[in-house]
Chain A
Amino acid sequence: MYLSFYITDIKNKLVFQYLLGATAPSFKHLWTRILSTCPQLLEDSSSDTYLDHAMVGRDLEVYKYFSITNKLNYWCLTSTAKSKGPLDCFTFLETIDYILLEYFDKDKLSIKKLVNNYDRISLIFNCCIEAGEPNVSDMLYVNKIKEAVPERSDLSKLISSTAHNLQQAVQLPQQRQQQLQQNQFSRGSSLHVENEEIVPWRTSRASKHENNELYLDLLETFHVVFEKKKSHIRLVNGNIHGTLDVRSYLNDTPLVLVKLNTMGNDIGIPSLHECVEINDGGVFSPSNITFIPPDGKFRLLEYCVDLDSQVIKSGVRMKSIGLVSLHFQNGLGKDSDEFELSLNIENLKNVSQVDDLKLDLQFNVENSDSNEVAYKIKILRNTHGRFENSIIMGQGQWIFDKSTATGTVPVLHGCIEYETGRSNDQKNVDLQTVSLEYSYVGQSASGIYVEAIDILSGLTIGKNTKLYKGAKYKTQTGDYQVRL
């Protein structure tokens, strides 16, 4: 049973609290309790004594979830119960974080947003938690919450929509008339379905949109580790984590079909939004995803392409992924203490630039005391960006500008300068790993793309309302490491 919820910023300063009773402690009280019983909860997640849940009293547990997108900590205090599954609390906190994002239709929640909407967020929490448990009567769907806690109608929205209407009324008076009639007609007939729930995640009272819009966002994050063996590069392990987010602003109750072309990738067992229909055999096919979308933003599916098994199956040696491939040469120059890194940024029709390209260079630091600087890295030539030596021994970063055009071949040429007076056999410093970071828009890493978005039925399109639909692709690196 949940007793209270708290949201704090990264430094654990309280932003919001929701207490489910007079006995639930306020964050100040909880804080002193945590400090005395289990300060490990407050540690940084990179420390090895870090905890994300702990007992703070008899039968009382605190759970903590850090939302990466919002940079917020979510806490909850629960009573210990045998029937509680081990994942319940973390998952619930994650769900709430997600609901808040969807409710406000944002990509990131700012603290200011939370502070400005205390009343609304309190009400959302109230919707999500009933009897100290997750409210299972379909209230965890954002559409339902929006119905119970109406959004603020902005003045700007009001004015702009009035202006828009005004303009349309003038430009196309007759059509408008027709549409009005149509509207009246359709409203007349839809009276009967009011109050009646069609699907639990979509309310029949979904707000009326001016235009019908349906957008898909395919985001792929890949995690790969490559290994350089002699001259060729080999995949050690890797996977692509893809999410397909939908923003749907459609009137009525449409049935949507999305066809995903996987380009021969095996997307394994994706996790789907409840709205996705699964055929009789219980098998999901990405080329035929039918669903009645909830209104607003939601995550349609999340998949994982297993590159390891794919490499084994196809027998093709995977050399690189995404747009950027890395070439490396060690032991150059007359003292063979120079190295050269070159990137090859592929030229693609859909992608004009690569954003936030950054390389982390890691040198091995063996046989040297940490306080004795025996060598330093000197850059002789770089075509793009700048090189920064890190404070930590043996690390450096090659940082590019905000965007780099595709089709270029940036090169970094550097050497390792040893302290004078060192014998040759001590010169054994070389590059150990290179990590890459970048993102680009316009293409997915695996090549998966949306073939078609069709609205099968259920949408009445008047002459004056238009249907907009589209798909966007983005690829970013999660982990990209090359071991040398």
Chain B
Amino acid sequence: MVDSINRIASALDTAKVITREAAAVATSKLGESSYTYYSQNINPQQLATLLNSRNSREVRDAMKRIISIMASDDDSIDVQLYFADVVKNITTNDIKVKRLIHLYLLRFAENDPNLTLLSINSLQKSLSDSNPELRCFALSALSDMKMTSLAPIILHTVKKLVTDPSAMVRGEVALAIIKLYRAGKNEYHEELLDILKELMADTDPKVISCTVLAFKECYADHLELLHGHFRRYCKVIRQLDSWSQSYLIELLIKYCKQFLPKPTVVDRSSEDSPRSCPLPDNYNEIEYPLYDVVNHPDLDLFLQSLNRLIYSSNPAVILASCNALYQLASPLQMKNTKFIEALVKTVSTTTNQGNKEILLQAVHFLSTLDQTLSLPYIKKFYILPKDSIVASVWKIQILSTLINESNVKEIFKELKYYVASAHLPEKVVILAVKSLSQCGQLSTSWESHVMKWLIDHMESHNLSASVLDAYVNVIRMLVQKNPTKHLRIIFKLADLLTAQRSLADNARAGIVWLFGEIASIEFKICPDVLRKLIPMFSDEGPETRCQILVLSAKLLSYDIDNFKQEQIAASDESSDEKNYQNHYDFSSSRISKMYEAVLYLAKYDDEFDIRDRARMISSLFDSGKYEIVSLLLQAPKPSARNNDFIISARLEVHAQEVKDFFKMLPWNTEITGIAETDNDVRKGVELKDYNKYKKSFSSQSFISNNSARSFTSNSNSNLRGVNDSNGSSVSGKGNINTVTSHNGKKYRLQSLDEFFSDIPERKSKSKKIIRVEEESSDDNEDESEESSDEDESDDDEYSDSSSLGTSSSHLEL
């Protein structure tokens, strides 16, 4: 017996192998590709036939074909020709076909409003379907038709469905509000606002998620609507969809700025005289080294609620939280929350280039305000070999904001490596050079160190013109700041000009210009430099030629001035020889001769610009108004700042959206005083809870509900857990009407009074008892509404007992 069974089993085993093979063959024939092939061969006539077929499978094939045509942007068949054929299929029972028709209508309803009306009836019928998904679908399909004539119908539907027992449908109502609002009819805005208010009081996180979106999109200015929900939203924020979380944070930032008093900063550095001041308007402007911040309790609540979002996988949430801390908290608080660490982590793990750029900009923005924020993560901003140009550029910019005495050695080394490495893109190298100047600005010794290194590197390497330009720019900038201290470097530059003939034109021009500027401090060397330049004038590039011309003019102007001053000095000494030699002797001055020579050369230059300048300068000198000459040529130049030479605005300037995002909002100065207990605007308002419509609350889901999102503060006991996760955690102070109940009743719409009277139930064994309980609890509820203090404890009791009841009843089932 056993033997035979074994035999059969082994036979079946081989049969299984065979069937598997057959299956493999079959899939290759009946797989997706072959279906696509079949589908693509449906011609326009067939398409119409299939759409009018009674066989639902054929209709489905036809719809799939139509959607494929739409999705592939195929011009060969105009799918709008089948409008009527498509729309009339909306009566089908096949949900997939319905959804496909929805896609079709979403796209084409506007083009043919009359035919679209064909589908309205069937969709409206679905609105009262027992399946919430169908109701949801119907509402979404109806509201997606962008037809103004339909607006009243949709508004009516929305009003009806706002009390739907299914959270999914109520969420869809919130989304329909957005669509209606955008349709542009101002007359509906008021009514829609009322519906939104109702939805805001919902207890279901899914509905809140949608409502937050609708609020943000349509009524973001009506921040006062958040009064009654502020505390509750702070507590449920973790339960929301991650997109809604980021929207809600932005909304609550605005709310806090508008309705909460400014935090006070209390000095803690000196014990004897406690000083305090309001939080400064700009970030990081607190002057006390040690301080505490006293917040309004509601602000504390909001900031604390953010802590739970630190593990979010949506970078938008992390960024929004950082913004909240930036806007509402002190730098010290920000450091304590670790959100910067999360931000930096997101930067280094994301593979999304667009996000990476913006996140790096955000880090850069924050570190320009407060270096210490990102100092601990400085090595995260060293360039990695595979970083894109944009990322590298922003990393270098961040590095240059973080330079200080303690890390300059290391950063300098790293930047030096970037500058010297041949394989990095040119823009990155240029930026690294630029950042070197930031190192140089720390101290004089670093200044000369940086310059020395740059000049050495310039001498020994074959650099491209734009990189050299950056070198010279940086050197120029550093020298200009403190010329007397860097004479040795200046001498070296003079050597460079003569020795390094291959130096690019722009670099030479920059150095020549520098000598023109140094002439005021160290005149002695300049004529010599000019002398050496003149013989090679014709070999120089156009920029250098121009600068040589300017240099010669400058030198002459200085020389004339010197002469005059000597004259005055001399005349002071011997007043009797007043008009002895009042005029500068052009013919005997060497500088003047050099100037003449350069001018002569320049007058016949190829470049019209140089010829022009030569004429201008010569006419100035010829007219003899040397004061004007010295004003023009000796004007002190402002020392260049790092921002003055931007290589590429796109790479170096914050994107507008980042600027907008971090725009500091002003605090509302009218709100003052931290304690305002008597007139609490943020007192929780009545909530709308639809949980009681649920048929049962099984023990299984109860466990998971408790464990899945343990956002509650105390979940020590399982029984309390139910209550926590549904009730008290949701509303801080408000009336808590959230109790899960077990009643096998079929859902029907109830009035608000019925709704409140229905909630507390202690036992749920039979219907009769329930009714008794309902009556008795009616009074309780009324009382609890009057005194909110008792309310909480009362509710705890109710829920404890009721959840006991439910679980026991479930066991009985």
B748 within 8 A of A: no
A19 within 8 A of B: yes
Please, which residues of chain B bring their CB within 8 A of the CB of A299?
A: 313
Chain A residue with minimal CB distance to B132? A195
| Among candidates A46, A90, A163, A270, residue contacting B19 with C-beta atoms closer than 8 Å | A163
Give the CA-CA distance A478 to B349 in the complex, in Å.
11
Give the CA-CA distance A274 to B205 in the complex, in Å.
14
Query: Which residues of chain A (251-291) have a CB below 8 Å from chain B?
Result: 252-253, 255, 268-280, 282, 284, 290-291
A228 within 8 A of B: no
Q: Is the CB of B345 within 8 A of A268?
A: yes
A475 within 8 A of B: no
Please, which residues of chain B bring their CB within 8 A of the CB of A51?
A: 650
Q: Is the CB of A86 within 8 A of B385?
A: no
A137 within 8 A of B: yes
Given A26-B73, A271-B312: A170 and B36 interface contact (C-beta under 8 Å): no
Please, which residues of chain A bring their CB within 8 A of the CB of B63?
A: 119
Give the CA-CA distance A15 to B172 in the complex, in Å.
30
Given A91-B315, A137-B175, A138-B209: A163 and B20 interface contact (C-beta under 8 Å): yes
Q: Is the CB of B704 within 8 A of A255?
A: yes
Q: Is the CB of B316 within 8 A of A91?
A: yes
Please, which residues of chain A bring their CB within 8 A of the CB of B698?
A: 192-193, 196
Given A159-B19, A163-B15, A481-B385: A133 and B217 interface contact (C-beta under 8 Å): yes
Please, which residues of chain B bring their CB within 8 A of the CB of A116?
A: 32-33, 35-36
Q: Is the CB of A46 within 8 A of B389?
A: yes
Q: Is the interface of B mostly helix, strand, loop or mixed?
A: helix
Given A1-B182, A167-B16: A137 and B242 interface contact (C-beta under 8 Å): no
Q: Is the CB of B220 within 8 A of A83?
A: yes
Q: Is the CB of A52 within 8 A of B704?
A: no
Please, which residues of chain B bring their CB within 8 A of the CB of A276?
A: 311
Give the CA-CA distance A127 to B548 in the complex, in Å.
69
Give the CA-CA distance A68 to B651 in the complex, in Å.
23
Within the complex, the shortest CB–CB distance from A409 to chain B, in Å, comes to 25
Q: Is the CB of B353 within 8 A of A156?
A: no
| Chain B 220-242 interface mask (CB, 8 Å, partner A; 1/0) | 10000000000000000000111
Please, which residues of chain B bring their CB within 8 A of the CB of A112?
A: 33
Given A91-B355, A280-B715: A269 and B651 interface contact (C-beta under 8 Å): no
Query: Which residues of chain A (99-144) have a CB below 8 Å from chain B?
Result: 112-113, 115-119, 121-123, 126, 130-138, 140
Q: Is the CB of A134 within 8 A of B311?
A: no
Query: Which residues of chain B (691-732) have a CB below 8 Å from chain A?
Result: 694-696, 698, 700-701, 703-705, 707-710, 712-715
B763 within 8 A of A: no
Q: Is the CB of A115 within 8 A of B72?
A: yes
- Stretch of A59-67, A350-358, A411-419 at the chain-chain interface: A59-67
Give the CA-CA distance A134 to B212 in the complex, in Å.
12
Within the complex, the shortest CB–CB distance from A345 to chain B, in Å, comes to 21
Q: Is the CB of B421 within 8 A of A432?
A: yes
B87 within 8 A of A: no
| Among candidates A137, A275, A366, residue contacting B461 with C-beta atoms closer than 8 Å | A366
Q: Is the CB of A45 within 8 A of B388?
A: yes
Chain B residue with minimal CB distance to A157? B23
Q: Is the CB of A269 within 8 A of B348?
A: no
Q: Is the CB of A192 within 8 A of B19?
A: no
Q: Is the CB of A22 within 8 A of B108?
A: yes
Query: Which residues of chain A (436-484) have a CB below 8 Å from chain B?
Result: 457-458, 478-479, 481, 483
Given A64-B354, A308-B379: A91 and B314 interface contact (C-beta under 8 Å): yes
Please, which residues of chain B bring their CB within 8 A of the CB of A22?
A: 107-111, 146
B359 within 8 A of A: yes
Within the complex, the shortest CB–CB distance from B656 to chain A, in Å, comes to 9
A56 within 8 A of B: no
B320 within 8 A of A: yes
Give the CA-CA distance A277 to B711 in the complex, in Å.
9
Given A156-B24, A160-B19: A269 and B311 interface contact (C-beta under 8 Å): yes
Give the CA-CA distance A357 to B718 in the complex, in Å.
54
Please, which residues of chain B bring their CB within 8 A of the CB of A236?
A: 379, 382, 414
Within the complex, the shortest CB–CB distance from A294 to chain B, in Å, comes to 11
Query: Which residues of chain B (408-436) have a CB below 8 Å from chain A?
Result: 414, 417, 421-423, 425, 427
B682 within 8 A of A: no
Query: Most B CB atoms within 10 A — which of A46, A137, A162, A163?
Result: A137
B683 within 8 A of A: no
B295 within 8 A of A: no
Please, which residues of chain B bring their CB within 8 A of the CB of A86?
A: 319, 358, 362, 655, 657-658, 660-661
Give the CA-CA distance A119 to B104 in the complex, in Å.
11
Give the CA-CA distance A126 to B100 in the complex, in Å.
10
A35 within 8 A of B: no
Please, which residues of chain B bring their CB within 8 A of the CB of A140?
A: 241, 243
Question: Chain B interface (Cβ within 8 Å of chain A)?
Answer: 5, 8-9, 12-13, 15-16, 19-20, 22-24, 26-27, 30-33, 35-36, 63-64, 67-68, 70-73, 96, 99-100, 102-103, 106-111, 132-133, 140, 143, 146, 167-168, 171-172, 175-176, 178-179, 182, 205-207, 209-210, 212-213, 216-217, 220, 240-244, 246-247, 250, 307-308, 310-316, 319-320, 338, 341-342, 345-346, 348-349, 351-355, 357-359, 362, 376-377, 379-380, 382, 384-386, 388-390, 414, 417, 421-423, 425, 427, 460-462, 648, 650-651, 655, 657-658, 660-661, 694-696, 698, 700-701, 703-705, 707-710, 712-715, 810, 813
Identify 14 new A-B residue pairs, CB closer than 8 A, beyond the known A20-B107, A160-B23, A252-B700.
A14-B73, A66-B353, A82-B660, A85-B661, A86-B358, A131-B179, A137-B171, A163-B19, A171-B9, A225-B385, A237-B380, A302-B313, A366-B461, A479-B384
Show 29 A/B contacts (Cβ-Cβ < 8 Å), sorted by A: A22-B107, A24-B107, A53-B354, A63-B354, A82-B660, A83-B220, A87-B319, A118-B72, A119-B63, A123-B99, A126-B103, A132-B178, A132-B182, A135-B175, A136-B240, A148-B133, A163-B15, A170-B12, A193-B701, A198-B700, A198-B701, A237-B382, A253-B704, A269-B338, A271-B311, A274-B242, A276-B311, A308-B380, A458-B703
